[in-house]
Amino acid sequence: MPPKPRTLDAVVRAAEKVLGANDVDHVFVGGVTVLAFGAPRTTSDVDVIAAVTPEKIGAIVASFQRLGFFASAQDLHDALVEGGHCTIQDTRSTYRIVLVPASTDSHRDALRTRRRVRWRGRELPMAAPEHTIVVKLEWGSPQDLEDALAMYLRQRGSLDLPMMRAFARRRGVSPELSDFEARAKSLSKP
């Protein structure tokens, strides 16, 4: 009998298990963070930024492979060296883990400002909503802007606005954030 297909939640748990067991500092970003802080939406990616070191590549890949994921040591090495990402495909579902070695200031900010969030029965390290909103504004696709708005409206009472604005200045998107905040404010008026 073939193994039961894996859910998004199970893929997130697997990523957390592998990275935690290998003592890799990490933070979930992207769609999973939007689900935790924003609004329900679909995603087929589990995006995670991780402080991967060359000496841990073999153990990380072997751990994912033992759990039934297709992972390549060469792909992870290349992502680390080139500043890209490595796709780790689940062989039991259409979900995939997009593992991004922490190589930029933005990645390090995500790790530094992460929050432990209770999500679907467990605590996970998630990118702070302020960080995610700014990065979504920087990327600027329609889905990114929709995600940012959902997170802003849902979290507006608990956002650290000075921290978010400082991050936006560092990322060069202060005007976009200012316009975005004005739009969000107009949408939240009774």
**pLDDT the model gives residue 189:** 67
* Segment 101-156, tens digit of pLDDT: 999 999 999 999 999 998 888 899 999 999 999 999 999 899 999 999 999 999 98
**Spelled out in words, what is the top-level CATH class assigned to the domain 1-127?**
alpha beta
Residue 66: other Cβ atoms inside 10 A: 10
**Domain boundaries of the chain, sorted by first residue:** 1-127, 129-190
- Residue pair 22/28 in contact (Cβ under 8 Å)? The answer is no
* Segment 58-92, tens digit of pLDDT: 999 999 999 999 999 999 999 999 999 999 999 99
pLDDT level of residue 184 (50, 70, 90 thresholds): confident
